[in-house]
Amino acid sequence: MVLVFGFLTCGIYLYFWIYQTSTDIKNALGGREDINPTMDIVLTICTCGLYFIYLLYRYPQLLLELQDRASQPRNDITTISIILAVVGLGIISIFMIQTELNKVWDSATRG
């Protein structure tokens, strides 16, 4: 649905996705102070999306920590996420990140 909403809203939904994903990851990692959803949005806008490429590196790194906490096998998508973002296919990186996050959230609700 992230892809669909992203296209239907001409990318505006992606800002909501960034904010919500940062918030969810921050809460799942115990409220870490180095994760700031509002600042992620502001920096993404101010840098014309360049900071977003950094987020597509950072989220998979945080995802590894979430997978460890959920006792799931690690699936490091960092490299492919960065490559896709650099060649202009960041939307596919978002899809991959969201898919992995959904696996973590599903295991947390089952376990």
Which residue shows structure tokens 């296919």? 89
Residues with pLDDT less than 70, the chain: 111
pTM of the model: 0.89
pLDDT at 111: 61
∠15-19-23 over CA atoms, to 5°? 165
Q: Report the candidate in 43, 82, 39 with the shortest Cα–Cα distance to residue 59.
A: 82
Segment 53-65, tens digit of pLDDT: 999 999 999 999 9
pLDDT at 108: 79
**CB-hemisphere CA count at 13 Å for 100?**
25
Segment 83-95, tens digit of pLDDT: 999 999 998 999 9
